[in-house]
Amino acid sequence: MAGSAADRQQILDWIETDRNELVRFLSRFVQARSPSPPGDTRKAARHVATFLKANRLPHRIVAPQKTMPNVVGSFAGAKPGRHLVLNGHLDVFPADESDSRWPHRPWSGAIADGKVWGRGSVDMKCGLTALVWTYRYLHRLRKTLKGRLSLTAVSDEETFGPWGADYLLERHPELRGDCCLSAEPSTPSAIRFGEKGVLWLEFAIVTDGADGGYVHRSESASKLAMALARDLEAVTRLRPKLPAKLAAVLKRNAAAIDAAQGKGAARIAGQVTLNIGFVHSGAAINILPGDARLGVDIRLPPGIGRAEILETVHRILARHPQASMREVKYNPPSWSDPEGEMLRLIQANVGALGGGVPKAILGVGGTDTRLWRYRKVPAYVYGPPPIGLGSHSEHVRIETFLHVVRTHALSAYDYLSRG
Ligand SMILES: [Zn+2]
């Protein structure tokens, strides 16, 4: 703990007083629909900007793409010090409105049973609300703070697109800061200090094709695609050289990794995995297909990189002369110190708030925090449990939501009250 006990209590009192307003902010944030694709976040950005404006908090809009604005705010404390950046995304997964299994309509932001419901309630409008309000509370305390606090509410995260955090960090290097705090879903018992990387490859297979009865005339592109997909499993047998400190944390916190991301997550956290995201081939049952396409999603832990994966892939490709490959995307794996300062501040605060001390875990999915880590800035993720992501039951418990608000506000305060 750092700073004054009175300030810390003041923050908790404000949150208690604002409880209903916080919940209403989140509910309306969900109503400001921002599914990606297509990724039009103007309503959600307006929701945040209107709030910042009403509370006279410094901010501006950075919109390299008209439909994908980023809301950026920054203010200095009274004394020099370190720069903390609060980062969250405005876009959310799409929602199938015709799916009758939604207990409340996906864009309703319904407040019911002590929960806020709807697409984006968890990923990550709950967390971004916590960051926006942290920005508000710490602005009130700025005379007691050191350094600088920035808020980046970005677009274009869900598809790893170029117009959000990536754009900001390239064009506005002053937003890199000294530490990044995100409120993506982690689960209250876990803090994400790193995440696996992504290598997306697309394969095209071309043969002559023929009538389905004339199998002697051409090789089948669909069968070749299936054989190729099977052979590509070889990448999952590559053994990453996990850094010793990371390997120790993965082992020690295996139960927490499973609890946060589903049973089995700890097993694959340190391994290369492969998913065939799509297989396109064939027009009709009686035609021997002359082309096929495979979308391959490889996830890699720290300790292995693109070059090693591609070496294996090229060796496999040599056995499939009808196939060609295109690299779609590569995001290297990234991790910050699993005992870093911000992580320890979050642990201390959650412990003091009466939760168990959250464990350091590696994420098996991707977030924008990698972009800070690529630039040598430590980045940590603490947020609600990932309930109903991509499905019809996305919701966050109001008590969990308020816990995330408290944790972020206190941890950001602690970081900026220190040297
Ligand atoms: Zn997210």
In a 10 Å sphere around its CB, with 0-12 CB exposed, 13-18 middle and 19+ buried, how is residue 321 labelled? exposed
Ligand 1: centre distance to CA 365 (Å):
9
Ligand 1: centre distance to CA 314 (Å):
33
Question: E strands within 164-233?
Answer: 179-182, 190-195, 197-206, 210-211
The rounded distance, in Å, linking the Cα atoms of 188 and 184 is 11
Ligand 1: centre distance to CA 315 (Å):
35
Strands 79-89 and 146-154: parallel
Reference 122, options 367, 389, 362; nearest CA is 389
HSE-CB at 383 with a 13 A cutoff on CA atoms is 30
pLDDT at 32: 98
Ligand 1: centre distance to CA 37 (Å):
14
Ligand 1: centre distance to CA 29 (Å):
15
The pTM of this model reads: 0.95
Ligand 1: centre distance to CA 124 (Å):
5
Ligand 1: centre distance to CA 90 (Å):
9
pLDDT at 88: 98
pLDDT at 390: 81
Ligand 1: centre distance to CA 221 (Å):
37
Ligand 1: centre distance to CA 3 (Å):
31
Ion ligand 1 residue ranges (Cβ < 5 Å): 123-124, 184
Ligand 1: centre distance to CA 226 (Å):
32
Reference 281, options 209, 375, 348, 382; nearest CA is 209
Ligand 1: centre distance to CA 199 (Å):
19
Ligand 1: centre distance to CA 355 (Å):
23
The three-point CA angle 386-392-264 to 5° equals: 40
Ligand 1: centre distance to CA 185 (Å):
7
Q: What is residue 114's three-state secondary structure?
A: coil
Ligand 1: centre distance to CA 161 (Å):
13
Ligand 1: centre distance to CA 117 (Å):
16
Question: Would the CA dihedral through 159, 155, 163, 382 be positive or negative?
Answer: negative
Q: What is the pLDDT along the chain (419 residues), one digit of tens a residue?
A: 557 999 999 999 999 999 999 999 999 999 999 999 999 999 999 999 999 999 999 999 999 999 999 999 999 999 999 999 999 999 999 999 999 999 999 999 999 999 999 999 999 999 999 999 999 999 999 999 999 999 999 999 988 889 999 999 999 999 999 999 999 999 999 999 999 999 999 999 999 999 999 999 999 999 999 999 999 999 999 999 999 999 999 999 999 999 999 999 999 999 999 999 999 999 999 999 999 999 999 999 999 999 999 999 999 999 999 999 999 999 999 999 999 999 999 999 999 999 899 999 999 999 999 999 999 999 999 999 998 888 899 999 999 999 999 999 999 999 999 86
pLDDT at 318: 97
Ligand 1: centre distance to CA 286 (Å):
43
Say how many residues make up the chain.
Answer: 419
Ligand 1: centre distance to CA 186 (Å):
10
pLDDT at 266: 96
Domains and CATH numbers, the chain: 5-195+333-417 (3.40.630.10), 197-243+254-331 (3.30.70.360)
Q: Give how far Cα 257 sits from Cα of 63, 253, 263, 297, 384, Å.
A: 36, 6, 8, 21, 14
Ligand 1: centre distance to CA 184 (Å):
5
